Amino acid sequence: MFDFLPKDIKKIGTAMVKGVVLIAVGIYIVSPIDLMPGLPFDDIVVAMVGLSFVGIDIPGLLGGARTTRAVYRAKGKK
């Protein structure tokens, strides 16, 4: 979409968007104005969506089990 921009500018823009998303997620979690006040479910969902948008692997972060295909590839066999 922004092919006319140099790569450096694209990287800076991407990093800024990721930073703004992380800040917005943090503000949402800390703020008393909430979708469901007193219940942490919406905060958890917003945190997971925000972290996955930024590029953090949520199953890997939570220690999720890898599939047999991922284990097989991690061993270096093809």
The pair of structure tokens assigned to 23 is 């800040």
Residue 1 belongs to some domain of the structure: no
Kindly tell me the sign of the dihedral angle through the C-alpha atoms of 59, 62, 66, 70: positive
Total domain count, the chain: 1
pLDDT at 65: 63
pLDDT digits (tens, 9 = 90+) for 51-64: 888 887 777 776 66
Q: Residue 30 falls within a domain, yes or no?
A: yes
Sign of CA dihedral 14, 15, 20, 22: positive
Question: 68 in a domain, yes or no?
Answer: yes
pLDDT for res 51:
87
Instruction: Indicate yes or no: pTM above 0.75.
Output: no
Burial of residue 46 (number of CB atoms within 10 Å: 0-12, 13-18, 19+): middle
CA separation (Å) from 55 to 34, 39, 61, 74? Answer: 25, 26, 11, 20
**Does some domain include residue 2?**
no
Residue-wise pLDDT for 13-47, tens only, equals 888 999 999 999 999 888 887 777 888 888 888 98
Here the tokens at position 43 are: 């905060």
Which domain range does residue 20 map to?
7-74
